[in-house]
């Protein structure tokens, strides 16, 4: 492996773990973080959580688990090319969606509405709660006790109110500073992954058609090239060839533009990264194209009437569950009825943690167990 750049995060310049531990043997601190994330319960539940399509709609659609793996793959490629810490970029990417609610954005919005009087619900902050507190796997601490830089990367966005409560980790949101380049890479690798796989899944679902996408320059360029070079190629393969070329364009552009930005930034070390504006970026042209694709997906896929029907159902499930648990905490599993959730805000947070941790199918089942009159006596 090439030597890391002087502005990469390393074990030597890391701010370390909250609770100090003996150094890992045969792997780096960031590899240990990655391994802890992979062994967590929240990571396994990603398999049954989705962003656009509900988990059981088809076996080939992305789940949050395969999405996270795609993000990690893209982030690692970019980090390696820029001589940054590949293990850290991977760990952040694998953990970035751990706090996601069931039913993707619809679920998240619904839980945020429910939690309005109690400080709201932010999924990035929830991912941090998962790795800092909610995972119960180790004898010596709650959570996974990850390195500062991994936690910093997981907390992509944060409101000023919440940032003020987070100490060192919240500071950058209050003082307009940047996270590590590895965190910036993971953030944009997420965008590259979902924009491209949503095109693929959207086409597979039949909710969008290939011809519609000819209005989107980023897709159209590659689609024309593929069709011209392979006139008889079956459509599914045309889609795959197009999407892989789109990913390649975005990744290559990101690497080139970021190299230019890093060079111009004259970085001597990690503190220079934190004091500079975001340096991992697309070129202006590709940024514009990527934005146009996002807009297309928003209008034609995320707001497709069939997706909206799914979303409204998801929001009702989340709202119903939150309401019923807040009205009568005796319905909660015993571990959530403990002494430290006696005040209303504490109970609301515990209910939000419980709901956020649910998979799509668990939430559907839980709703059925509580609300379906035909399910009498109560089934488990
Ligand atoms: Mg994501």
Output the DSSP codes for 333-346.
-GGGGSGGG-SHHH
Q: How far is the CA of 68 from the centre of ligand 1 (A)?
A: 6
Confidence of residue 55 (pLDDT cuts 50, 70, 90): low
Q: Where are the domains of the chain?
A: 29-306
pLDDT value, residue 339: 58
Q: Are 329 and 337 in contact (CB under 8 A)?
A: yes
Tokens 């069709």 identify what position? 227
Q: How far is the CA of 50 from the centre of ligand 1 (A)?
A: 10
Q: How far is the CA of 252 from the centre of ligand 1 (A)?
A: 20
Percent of the chain with pLDDT strictly greater than 90 = 83
Assess if CATH 1.10.3210.10 describes domain 29-306: yes
Q: How far is the CA of 160 from the centre of ligand 1 (A)?
A: 22
Q: Are 213 and 185 in contact (CB under 8 A)?
A: no
Query: CA of 280: how far to CAs of 1, 73, 187, 284, in Å?
Result: 21, 17, 9, 12
Q: How far is the CA of 98 from the centre of ligand 1 (A)?
A: 9
Q: How far is the CA of 194 from the centre of ligand 1 (A)?
A: 7
Q: How far is the CA of 341 from the centre of ligand 1 (A)?
A: 31
pTM, full prediction: 0.95
Q: How far is the CA of 51 from the centre of ligand 1 (A)?
A: 9
Taken in order 207, 209, 214, 218, is the CA torsion positive or negative? positive
Q: How far is the CA of 105 from the centre of ligand 1 (A)?
A: 11
pLDDT value, residue 377: 63
pLDDT value, residue 375: 64
Q: How far is the CA of 239 from the centre of ligand 1 (A)?
A: 22
Q: How far is the CA of 310 from the centre of ligand 1 (A)?
A: 20
Q: How far is the CA of 25 from the centre of ligand 1 (A)?
A: 31
pLDDT tens digits along 306-365: 889 889 999 999 999 999 999 988 888 887 777 567 789 989 999 999 999 999 999 999
Tokens 């905490």 identify what position? 329
End-to-end CA distance of the chain: 51
Q: How far is the CA of 70 from the centre of ligand 1 (A)?
A: 10
Q: How far is the CA of 124 from the centre of ligand 1 (A)?
A: 10
Q: How far is the CA of 97 from the centre of ligand 1 (A)?
A: 6
Q: How far is the CA of 45 from the centre of ligand 1 (A)?
A: 15
Q: How far is the CA of 104 from the centre of ligand 1 (A)?
A: 10
pLDDT tens digits along 264-304: 999 999 999 999 999 999 999 999 999 999 999 999 999 99
Residue predicted with more confidence, 187 or 377: 187
Q: How far is the CA of 282 from the centre of ligand 1 (A)?
A: 18
CA dihedral 150, 154, 157, 159 (to 10 degrees): -90
Q: How buried is 109 (Cβ within 10 angstroms: 0-12 exposed, 13-18 middle, 19+ buried)?
A: middle
pLDDT value, residue 340: 64
Q: How far is the CA of 69 from the centre of ligand 1 (A)?
A: 10
Q: Which of 95, 66, 70 is nearest to 244 (CA)?
A: 70
Q: How far is the CA of 266 from the centre of ligand 1 (A)?
A: 31
pLDDT tens digits along 79-97: 999 999 999 999 999 999 9
| Cα–Cα dist 159/152, whole Å | 14
Q: How far is the CA of 102 from the centre of ligand 1 (A)?
A: 13
pLDDT tens digits along 131-146: 999 999 999 999 999 9
Q: How far is the CA of 157 from the centre of ligand 1 (A)?
A: 13
Element (H, E) at 360: helix 360-371
Structure tokens at 114: 């429910």
pLDDT value, residue 330: 87
Counting every residue, how long is the chain? 380
Backbone angles phi, psi at 70, to 5 degrees: -65, -40
Strand partners for 147? 17
Q: How far is the CA of 317 from the centre of ligand 1 (A)?
A: 22
Q: How far is the CA of 96 from the centre of ligand 1 (A)?
A: 6
| Cα–Cα dist 88/282, whole Å | 21
Tell me the H-state helices in 9-63: 29-38, 41-45
């Amino acid at each position: 492996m090439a030597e890391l750049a002087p502005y990469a995060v390393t074990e030597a310049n890391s701010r370390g773990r909250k609770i100090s531990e003996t150094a890992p043997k045969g792997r780096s601190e960031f590899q240990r973080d990655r391994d802890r994330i992979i062994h967590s319960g929240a990571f396994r539940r990603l398999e049954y959580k989705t962003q656009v399509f509900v988990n059981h709609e088809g076996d080939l659609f992305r789940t949050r688990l395969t999405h996270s793996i795609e993000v990690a793959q893209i982030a690692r490629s970019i980090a390696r090319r820029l001589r940054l810490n590949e293990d850290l970029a991977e760990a952040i990417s694998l953990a970035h969606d751990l706090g996601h609610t069931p039913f993707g954005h619809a679920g998240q919005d619904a839980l945020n509405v429910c939690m309005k009087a109690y400080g709201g619900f932010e999924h990035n902050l929830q991912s941090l709660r998962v790795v800092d507190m909610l995972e119960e796997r180790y004898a010596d601490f709650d959570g996974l006790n990850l390195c500062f830089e991994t936690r910093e990367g997981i907390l992509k966005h944060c409101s000023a109110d919440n940032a003020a409560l987070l100490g060192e980790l919240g500071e950058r949101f209050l003082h307009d500073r940047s996270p590590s380049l590895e965190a910036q890479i993971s953030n944009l690798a997420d965008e590259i992954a979902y924009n491209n796989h949503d095109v693929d899944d959207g086409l597979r679902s039949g909710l969008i058609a290939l011809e519609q996408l000819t209005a989107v320059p980023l897709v159209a360029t590659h689609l024309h090239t593929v069709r011209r070079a392979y006139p008889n190629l079956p459509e599914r393969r045309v889609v795959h060839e197009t999407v892989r070329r789109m990913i390649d364009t975005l990744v290559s552009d990101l690497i080139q533009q970021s190299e230019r930005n890093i060079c111009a930034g004259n970085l001597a070390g990690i503190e220079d990264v934190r004091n500079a504006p975001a340096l991992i970026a697309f070129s202006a042209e590709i940024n514009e194209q990527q934005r146009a694709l996002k807009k297309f997906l928003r209008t034609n896929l995320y707001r497709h009437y069939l997706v909206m029907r799914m979303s409204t159902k998801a929001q009702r499930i989340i709202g119903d569950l939150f309401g019923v648990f807040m009205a009568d905490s005796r319905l909660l599993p015993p571990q959530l009825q403990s002494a430290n959730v006696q005040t209303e805000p504490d109970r609301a947070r515990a209910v939000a943690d419980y709901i956020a941790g649910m998979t799509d199918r668990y939430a559907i089942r839980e709703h059925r167990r509580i609300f379906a009159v035909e399910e009498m006596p109560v089934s488990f």
